[in-house]
Structures are given as structure tokens and as C-alpha cells.
């Protein structure tokens, strides 16, 4: 049965304008969809986050593995493409990890959600503003993918939502080349997935309650990666947790400063989130409230340049956050410092490509996807 899920007025429409993008959940029991809200969660997030969905680990160094109780399907057009795609997140056993599969191309190749599959070449078609994963060229493909391997575009918002919900194992099928934009944030993904998160019972490294466990990637030394772009001051820093935090926790901070080029439209701002992996309800609620609603953004000048280049013709006013010198264009801020919060969202989604939950502090200073990928690669490779 297909059950629509409320996204209120936050809808994306495709170029044909025949129907809005929408979320559906493949669910045999509609009564399991709770529309009640915790007081601290914005009303745009319709799914309630239940503490009993998240077992708490008894081990200070291991984290419970989680998946979904049933498949969840999301349909819509992409951020960079006006074409409709269908995304389904399926349950998976312990140890499967997160994988994508393009079901619309011959052979339906599987692409691990891992930094080793990041393609900077394919990001050029999206102005370097998203994350693209690729399969080996031998995987086949057609159209623009032919000879270059099959690709999955714009994975970061979905992976950020899954990371915030502590989902470690799932098989993600995609009929199309790009993950649906929905509303250019992670909020609809959190809304759709949260009611169905369950611990994985059994498997290796079983916990006290028989649940499968995963060891986090723990940052033990300070690492600083600086941008190689001429004149750039961007850097991303990873360092151990402070001594006062003794359980696996990820602290993400972002300092956004585009001065002087764009400082009037997007003034300097900061955002931060702390995700305690052994207190999954708290981690999920914090992300849902403070980070997930933040949208993809650009300046009004950039938006005009993109349109002049023939890009984003299917995007309607307010569907992304466009900022002019005098404020947002045809929309309002959902959250204070929304651009910096979206940068934290992107960081979480990109760092999820390291393959395991990260424990430590990571700070981005005027960084982007390529910097996040570099840090994920460093952490994944030890």
C-alpha cells in the first residue's frame, strides 16, 4: 500500500508541472505512521521519533547497528535534473552497510556509499555543488553515463538524514540518476525514515541485548586539510573529543565566511551540532530540529548566472534558498543562520561516506563538498 506523508507546503515540482514531488512510504500498516509531534520538532517534520526504536549500547566503544523495518519510497525530480526518479530504501542485514543500486540501467549496478566511489569528474555538470558516486565503467550505462560508469547524483541530503537516525545498513535502489530533491533539505527524508528505524538483532559483535554492533571511526589525532584552490583560506579540521566526553559522539561545526565577495547577501555565520551516538533519540531530535530543515542556498547573483546558463529551469521561487543583499528572495529563512546549518547538513552526509559513524570533532571553515570528501577519505583510510 502507498501512503502519502505530509510535507505541508514544502513541495518541489518538476519541469512538466504535472504533479508535485511527493513522498510515499511502502507500508502495509498505515496505523504505524504517527503524525503526532514532539513539542521541540518543527511541524514540517511529521514522523515522531520514538525512543524504543533505538537500543542504547552498554559498550563505550561500540554502537548499535540499525536498519529499517520496511522499505520506504520517495519520488520526485532532482535538484540538478528535472527528471523524475524513484528512490527506495530497503532493510539490510548487519554488515551490509549502505549501498546504492541504479535499477534503471542494464545490469542494475551496485555502488557502495563510500568515499572511494566519489567522482569529482561528474560533479562538474552540477557546478561542483553536490556529491556524485560512480560505479566502475565496466558497470555499463547509457546516455551521459556511457563510458564513464554509472553515477548516483546528490546523495548528501539522504545520507545526512540516515546518519542522524543511526541507520548503518540499508540497500538503496534508485530508478533514475539523481536522488529526489523534495524540498532541498534533509527534513523530508528524516520524516519518512524516522518511524521505521529498528535495531538489527544478531550478527557479529552482538551487544548485551543481542543486537549487532559497529565500531565507530574514532579520531585520535588532529588532522588539518587546507584547500588547494588559489587564494582560498578554506580548511577542514578533525580532532579528538574533549576529555569530558567519554562516549562515541560526533561534533560538527561550520564557520561560513564569504567576505568580501558575498558578505552582504550571506554574512559571516556559524552552526554546530553534537550527535551522541549512544543516545540515538537525542541525536535524531537535534538534527531534525536544528539542521534538517536547512535548504540548499545560493546568492541571487549566482541564481541569475545559473539560469542564464540554462540550469535549474525546473526550480520554482522558494524551493531553494536564494539570498540577495536585502534578504531571502520570495521565501523566508526557516532557521537562523540557515546557510551555515545547511553546510553542517552537507558535512554529515559527505562524512557518512567514511563507512562508519565518526567519533570526534570536525570543523569546516568556508569548506565545500570536495573538502568533506577529502576528510572522509583520510578517516576511512586510517
Class of domain 2-380: alpha beta
Name the strand (E) or helix (H) holding 279. none
pLDDT digits (tens, 9 = 90+) for 283-332: 999 999 999 999 999 888 888 887 777 677 777 777 899 999 999 999 99
- Between CA 330 and CA 328 the distance in angstroms is 6
- Write down how long the chain is: 382
Q: What is the DSSP letter of 190?
A: H
Range 255-261 contact pairs with CB under 8 angstroms and sequence separation of 24 or more: 255/340, 255/363, 255/364, 255/365, 255/366, 256/337, 256/339, 256/340, 256/343, 256/366, 257/365, 257/366, 258/366
Residue 177 pLDDT: 93
Q: Which residues does residue 321 pair with via DSSP β-bridges, in sequence order? A: 297
Residue 195 pLDDT: 98
What sign does the CA torsion over 332, 129, 351, 148 have? positive
User: Distance of alpha carbon 65 from its chain centroid, rounded?
Assistant: 18
Q: Where are the domains of the chain?
A: 2-380
Residue 133 CB contacts under 8 Å (≥ 6 apart), including other chains: 100, 111, 113, 117, 118, 119, 151, 152, 155
- Between CA 220 and CA 229 the distance in angstroms is 28
Predicted model pTM: 0.82
Residue 207 pLDDT: 53
Burial 344-370 (b: 16+ CB within 10 A, else e): bbbbbbbbbbbbbbbbbbbbbbbbbbb
- Residue carrying C-alpha cell 565545500: 368
- Residue carrying C-alpha cell 560508469: 149
Q: ∠ at Cα 378 (372, 382), nearest 5°?
A: 145
> Nine-digit cell at 174?
534508485
pLDDT digits (tens, 9 = 90+) for 179-229: 999 999 999 999 999 999 999 997 655 555 567 999 999 999 999 999 888
- Between CA 315 and CA 184 the distance in angstroms is 10
Mean pLDDT (10-residue bins), the chain, 382 residues:
32 34 34 27 37 42 96 92 93 98 95 93 58 76 51 96 98 96 96 98 60 94 91 93 97 90 84 98 98 94 79 77 93 97 98 98 96 97 86
Which residue from 362, 55, 68 is spatially nearest to 212, judged by alpha carbons? 55
Could you give the count of Cα atoms lying within 13 Å of 161 in the half-sphere of its Cβ? Answer: 25
- Between CA 318 and CA 123 the distance in angstroms is 24
Amino acid at each position: 500500500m502507498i501512503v502519502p506523508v505530509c510535507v505541508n507546503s514544502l513541495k518541489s515540482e518538476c519541469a512538466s508541472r504535472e504533479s508535485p514531488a511527493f513522498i510515499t512510504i511502502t507500508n502495509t500498516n498505515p496505523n504505524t505512521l504517527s503524525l503526532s509531534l514532539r513539542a521541540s520538532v518543527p511541524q514540517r517534520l511529521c514522523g515522531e521519533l520514538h525512543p524504543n526504536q533505538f537500543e542504547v549500547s552498554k559498550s563505550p566503544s561500540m554502537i548499535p547497528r540499525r536498519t529499517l523495518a520496511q522499505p520506504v519510497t520517495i519520488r520526485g525530480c532532482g535538484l540538478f535534473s528535472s527528471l523524475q526518479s524513484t528512490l527506495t530504501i530497503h532493510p539490510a542485514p548487519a554488515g551490509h552497510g549502505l549501498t546504492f543500486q541504479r535499477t534503471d540501467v542494464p545490469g542494475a549496478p551496485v555502488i557502495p556509499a563510500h568515499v572511494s566511489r566519489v567522482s569529482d569528474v561528474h560533479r562538474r555538470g552540477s557546478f561542483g555543488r553536490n556529491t556524485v558516486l560512480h560505479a566502475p565503467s565496466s558497470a555499463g550505462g547509457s546516455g551521459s553515463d556511457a563510458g564513464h560508469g554509472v553515477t548516483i547524483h546528490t546523495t548528501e541530503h539522504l545520507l545526512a538524514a540516515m546518519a542522524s537516525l543511526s541507520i548503518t545498513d540499508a540497500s538503496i535502489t534508485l530508478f533514475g540518476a539523481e536522488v529526489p530533491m523534495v524540498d532541498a533539505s534533509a527534513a523530508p527524508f528524516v520524516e519518512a525514515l524516522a518511524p521505521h528505524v529498528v535495531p538489527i538483532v544478531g550478527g557479529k559483535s552482538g551487544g548485551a541485548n543481542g543486537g549487532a554492533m559497529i565500531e565507530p571511526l574514532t579520531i585520535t589525532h588532529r588532522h588539518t586539510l587546507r584547500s588547494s584552490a588559489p587564494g582560498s583560506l578554506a580548511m577542514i579540521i578533525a580532532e579528538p573529543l574533549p576529555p569530558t566526553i567519554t562516549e562515541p559522539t560526533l561534533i560538527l561545526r561550520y564557520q561560513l565566511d564569504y567576505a568580501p565577495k558575498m558578505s552582504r547577501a550571506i554574512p559571516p555565520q556559524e552552526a554546530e551540532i553534537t550527535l551522541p551516538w549512544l543516545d540515538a533519540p537525542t541525536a535524531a531530535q537535534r538534527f531534525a530540529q536544528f539542521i534538517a530543515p536547512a535548504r540548499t542556498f545560493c546568492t541571487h547573483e549566482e541564481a541569475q548566472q545559473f539560469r542564464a546558463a540554462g540550469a535549474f529551469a525546473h526550480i520554482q521561487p522558494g524551493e531553494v534558498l536564494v539570498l540577495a543583499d536585502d534578504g531571502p528572495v520570495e521565501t523566508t529563512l526557516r532557521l537562523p543562520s540557515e546557510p551555515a546549518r545547511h553546510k553542517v547538513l552537507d558535512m554529515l552526509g559527505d562524512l557518512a561516506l567514511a563507512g562508519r559513524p565518526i567519533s570526534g570533532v570536525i570543523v569546516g571553515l568556508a569548506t565545500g563538498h570536495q573538502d568533506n570528501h577529502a576528510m572522509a577519505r583520510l578517516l576511512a583510510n586510517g
